Each structure stands twice: as C-alpha cells, then as structure tokens.
Structure 1
Amino acid sequence: MTTTHTLDVPGAHLRYEVRGSGPLLLLAGAPMNAAPFAPLAEELAGEYTVVTHDPRGMSGSRLDDPEQDSTPELRAGDLVALMEALGADSADVLGSSGGAVTGLALAERHPGRVRTLVAHEPPLLELLPDAAEQRAGIEDIIATLHREGALAAQLKFLASAGFTFEEGDDGAPPMEFSEQDLADSARFFDHEIRGTTRHVPDIAALRAAPARIVVGLGADSGGLVTYRTSMALAGLLGTPPVEFPGDHGGFLGEPREFAQVLRKVLAER
C-alpha cells in the first residue's frame, strides 16, 4: 500500500509517498519527482519503508516563493525533515543524478543521518578537467530556455549530457514531454541546475563521516558526462564505483535488476 502525505518545511510544502515497512530508505532525485521511482520503490517495499518525494518546487511540492533557487543544501535539509516526520534518526539513501548531489550534501552537513548513501551518477561538473567548458554549456542551456522555451532547452540538455536520439521524419521531437515535465524542466534550468552542477563535495568531510558512501555507475553510461563525474568522485573518495544495470536512469527500465544490486550494496554495510 502506498500513502501520500504533505510536509511543511521552511519555504516549501513537500509531497511524499511511503511504501512498505522496515528500515527507512529514501529514494531521491533532482529534478526527478517521485513518480519515476515507483517501480523501484515497489520492488523494495517488502524489506524497507521506502519514501519517495517531489523535490521542492517540482511537481506536487510547492514553494512559498516560486523564485527561490534550489540548492543541494536546501534539499538535504528537506531529507532530514522527512526523516523526522517519520520518526527516524537516520536512513539509507539512494540519490539519482541531482538527487545524488543532494545525498552528498546530506552526508556532509548531517553526517549522523545517513547510514549508506548510494550516489548514483552525480553530475558534479566541477570535478572535471573541462569544468569551465561544462559551465559554459549550462549557461547556454539556460539562455536557450529564455530564448526558445523549455522543450528546446531540455533537448539541448539531454544532448550535452551525452544522450543520443533522432528526430522523427516529420521533424517532431524524439520524445514526448507533458506540461508538468516542461514546467519542472523550466524550473530546473532557471533555479536549480547551477547549484547542483557547481556543487563541490567536501571530500574530507565525506571520508570522515560515519556514513558509507558508495558511488553508483550505470553499466551502459560510458558515453555520458555523468560517467566521467562519477569516476572522478570515486577516485577522490578512494573507493571503486559499483555498477548498476542500465544507464543514468537504469532503475526506470530495469527496476527489478536495479533493486537486486541495491539490496546487495545496502546489505554490505
């Protein structure tokens, strides 16, 4: 059974879902909302209390100030608030993409709150040798949003990340996006992408934290910029990455197989 709740936090009202019972496991994306995590959450609900949520400003999580920027630190505070609402002192965390950056900020700023963090492909562009070029690319995506709209910016973002796709014969976009998808994309590019991609993890704090930090890497992500950022983070932490099925969003297409690897990782602590 899935229950849906709303939690008031400073500046926002978080929509979140709870499934299952057992140790607390948070599945966090950014900007990805709760819905795409549902198949993975269902796979894990037999062993964990699995919590998914819409990050602040996305989908069902509303902001008091729509112009507020979302930072990894703010989102980390939201994860702490979710734990407290559920009466938990700590949790295991799977962070995907920007959610992995949220998880790293959580482990840095609230070290006692995390048991195991699986940081799956965090887009930490500042760790790359071509960081300045990557930063310029982000600024171009934001400019595209204001010049051509959310769809054009989203397609440029996907291409810059390393995803390949072909337009239809009629010149139509290669994939469909709902109005909510495009609204979330616009907010992401305008108010979130800079803070997420420019986050520089505090490696000393992560090494000293009681949390176990695992870098997750998709088996099919070799052509993506997040392959490079994940390898860079793993190198700085001195731990080999753990391979998960699929690519950057492997849990979307292979939730059962992804859950199997995640169970094994969490059991190793």
Structure 2
Amino acid sequence: MTTHTLAVPGARLHYEVRGAGPVLLITGAPMDASAFAPLAEALATDHTVVTHDPRGISGSALDDPEQESTPELRADDAAAILAALGAESADVFGSSGGAVTGLALVARHPGRVRTLVAHEPPLLELLPDAAEQRAATEGIIATFHRDGIGAAWGAFMANAGFDVGGGEGGAAGPPPGEPSAPSEQDIANSTRFFAHELRGTARHVPDITALTTGPTRVVVGLGVDSAALVTHRTSVALAEQLGTEPTMFPGDHGGFMGDPKGFAERLREVLKGGG
C-alpha cells in the first residue's frame, strides 16, 4: 500500500492505493479509508484499489473546519483523486453516504465512472415519509448539539433501524464504523458527521436523468440482512426511479466489514456485469 496527500480547494486529501489492475475507487461518508482496508486488501489481487478519507475526516484536513460537507464537494474530491492517479475512468463502490457521493460523482463528472455500485445510499428525500425523515434528521443534529455524541448516535441508530434496545424488528448491533470505545479521532469524526455532514447527505436528491442517460452503469446494492433498515427502503426507492432492481450483497449495511472476502467476490461478479 502507498499513501498520498492531494491538495484540493479547501482541503488536503489523504488517500491510499493498493494492488494493480483496473482502478476501483472505494468511498464512504463518514467512514474513512481504514474502515475499508480489509475489503481493499481482498480486491487488490486484481484491481488497483483506491480508498480515502473524506474531507474533514481523519487524515483529510480542511482549511475551514466549519465548512459543510456535501455530496457534490466529496464527488469533486473523488474526481480529483482519480485525476491525480491518471485514471480517465474507474469503477466506484460507494457505501452509505459514500454511495451518495458516488451518485453525485456520476452526475457531475460524466464518463469518469464505468460502473457505480451504490450500496445502501440513505436518500431520505426519495421516501414517501420524507418530511418525517427530514424532521428526524434535524432532531438527531439537535440531540448532538444538546446532549453530545453518544446520545446522537443512539438517536441515529434508532432512526436507521438498528436494534438499540435488544427488541425485535431492528437490525442487530451498532452501525458500521461506530466503535464501542471511541478514540479521539473517532470523536472528532463523529463531531464532523453530526455537525457538518449528516444534513447534506440525507437531503441529497439524485439527478435521475443524468444517472439513466449517461454512459455509467449504475447498480444499487442492498444487503440481504438489511430489511429492517431505512436504507433498505431508500435503496429500493432509488432502484425504482432508475428502472432497475436492487442487487443483493452479503450481510447488512456493513456487510463488507463482516465478510470482506465474500463481499469482495460478490463485488467482482457485479463489476463484471453479473446480477
């Protein structure tokens, strides 16, 4: 693995490169490069795998720490990283907020992406109860400012559909990337997420025309164990607007962490055109 720093307007981006072969960019939000390391290692045998820290997260420092993070800004950052690598085009796997970044990348930089696998994008504006979801997001942000990170994660997890009380009907465990004993960096990343990133990601409305008429193949990924999550509903809603069906992947929202090798094999199949 090699590590790199790239200066872009307003930030200095940390990214990592592994392997050799067709370029595959893996992106998350707020998840950083380290969260995708096992998946990247599993894919690096036959791909040049690029992971990165989104602006304001972990090693990607901002000129203005109060800058809002939007899918559009993150998409431009992803395009800049690909340009720095000399990659005219690449496949992209985006998870959660990174899937929203990928959708913005396809719309803003036509032809840059060959295949986008958008894994469980939290596109709350596509839901019939979008107004209620918008209010819930604002409530989570207010909880963060009033009661702190722990309370905000609890509210976020409950709204997302994770089982936070041991009852039935929710997905088991915490959301991917949220550790039980957070480090100082984890706390900084969570602060960034609730204060400056969550709202912009949750309110993004994808450009369906650009996604369906451009040269990029767009695949909506969905975990086989994600039925209880709000991202199941948003993934189905996006697939309907694109005129496709969701493509199933192992595990739930964080399936790439629970079984990185199995997830990598499924992703290879999909990138080769498999359903």
Task: Name the amino acid aligned to 1:46.
Answer: T
The CA distance in 2 between the partners of 1:234 and 1:176, in whole Å, is 36
TM-score scaled by length of structure 1: 0.95
Contact (CA 8 Å) 1:166, 1:174: kept in 2 or not? no
1:170 is matched with which residue? Answer: none
Is 1:198 the counterpart of 2:198? The answer is no
Report the Cα offset of residue 156 of structure 1: 1.3
Counterpart of 2:235 (choices 230, 234, 242) is 230
The CA distance in 1 between the partners of 2:54 and 2:8, in whole Å, is 12
Q: Unpaired runs of 5+ in structure 1?
A: 168-172
Detail structure 1 runs of 4+ shifted over 2 Å in the superposition.
173-179
Report the Cα offset of residue 15 of structure 1: 0.6
SS at match of 2:67: coil
The CA distance in 1 between the partners of 2:3 and 2:94, in whole Å, is 20
Matches within 5 A, 1:47-126: 47-126=46-125
Task: Name the amino acid aligned to 2:255.
Answer: G
1:266 is matched with which residue? Answer: 271
Contact (CA 8 Å) 1:216, 1:243: kept in 2 or not? yes
Q: Deviations over 1:104-133 (max 9, x none)?
A: 000111111000000000000000000111
Task: Name the amino acid aligned to 2:140.
Answer: I
Report the Cα offset of residue 166 of structure 1: 4.3
Contact (CA 8 Å) 1:29, 1:99: kept in 2 or not? yes
SS at match of 1:31: coil
1:250 is matched with which residue? Answer: 255
Contact (CA 8 Å) 1:151, 1:182: kept in 2 or not? no
Contact (CA 8 Å) 1:104, 1:119: kept in 2 or not? yes
Task: Name the amino acid aligned to 2:223.
Answer: G
RMSD across aligned positions (CA): 1.4
The CA distance in 2 between the partners of 1:132 and 1:166, in whole Å, is 26
Report the Cα offset of residue 174 of structure 1: 9.4
Contact (CA 8 Å) 1:162, 1:224: kept in 2 or not? yes
Report the Cα offset of residue 83 of structure 1: 0.6
SS at match of 2:111: helix
SS at match of 2:103: helix
Q: Deviations over 1:120-162 (max 9, x none)?
A: 0000000000011101111111111111111211121111101
Q: Unpaired runs of 5+ in structure 2?
A: 167-177
1:139 is matched with which residue? Answer: 138
Contact (CA 8 Å) 1:15, 1:54: kept in 2 or not? yes
Number of aligned residue pairs? 263
